Structure 1
Amino acid sequence: MSQVAYKILTADQWAAFRGAGAFDGAPIDLADGYIHLSTEDQWDETAQKHFVGQSDLILAEVRLGDLDDVRWEPSRGGQLFPHLYGVLPMAAVGVVMAFDVDAAGGVSVLRAAS
């Protein structure tokens, strides 16, 4: 399994994460009981499925080796997705990029996040 996964956040979620130094999860994460992560090959489909028409999204690289309770579980189409059962600490985040998803589901080019 990959040692890196990705978390998509809204700008507001990212600002709260940065301020707190940890992320408890988006509403869907809290409802499901774990933080949804995606692999490099999965994140764009996740963005197209859940973030259509949204701009100023954040793609945060997450170092899985820095986390305690990551489980690879089947989800969309039987693919294995990394799920974090716990809080995501800022210390586990590497590269952070911004992007948009247009109304048709097209993902914009990644750009440096502020």
Structure 2
Amino acid sequence: MTGQSGTDDPIFHIALPDDWVNAFASGEYSVSTRGMSLDDVGFIHCSTAEQLEATANRFYGDLTELVLLTIDPLIVPADILWEPPAPGVDELFPHIYGPLPIGAVNMHRFWSRAGTAWEIPQG
């Protein structure tokens, strides 16, 4: 099932530090996921707060530093659709179907992994 979210709860994107810094040159972030652009995939992968740790551990387990972007969906001009990450999966993830203006990011914070797994930063 796909659909647009009716919620104004923040959504999150996990970024590589260099990708986030590079977004300031154009004013938009256009990385879909690790190593793939918006042009490659067609949307930017995002997560809810509850999905973050699993996503980070699944796709970024070999890294020690990331940037966690907190996104205000009401400011994003592109469609945000809630979709499964793969056929046959029931869990829905928010996908942004266009570039993400840096002004739609309420907060960014560096996320360092101290142990063997990513854990949501507190504070």
TM-score scaled by length of structure 2: 0.77
Provide the residue aligned with 2:118 in structure 1: 107
Matched residue, 2:103: 91
Contact in 2 for aligned 1:22/1:88 (Cα 8 Å): yes
Q: Please tell me whether the aligned partners of residues 27 and 102 of structure 2 are also in contact (alpha carbons under 8 angstroms).
A: yes
Report the secondary structure of 1:79's partner residue.
coil
| Number of matched pairs | 111
Q: Which residues of 2 match residues 1-114 of structure 1 at below 5 A?
A: 1=5, 2-3=7-8, 4-26=10-32, 27-30=35-38, 31-67=40-76, 68-75=78-85, 77-101=89-113, 104=116, 106-108=117-119, 110=121
- After TM superposition, which residue ranges in structure 1, 4 or more long, deviate above 4 angstroms? none
- Higher normalized helix content (fraction of residues): 1
Q: Residues 34-85 of structure 1: CA distance to partner in whole angstroms, max 9, x if unpaired?
A: 1001001011111001111212210000111112311111226421110001
Aligned-pair identity in percent equals 26
Whether the 8 Å CA contact 1:52–1:103 is kept in 2: the answer is: no
User: Under a length normalisation based on structure 1, what TM-score does the superposition of the two structures give?
Assistant: 0.83
Q: Cα RMSD between the aligned structures?
A: 2.2
Structure 2 residue runs of 5 or longer lacking an equivalent are none
CA gap of 1:14–1:93, structure 2 versus 1, over 3 A, is: same
Unaligned runs of 5+ in 1: none
CA separation in 2, counterparts of 1:47 and 1:109? 9
Aligned 8 A contact 1:98 1:110 in 2:
no
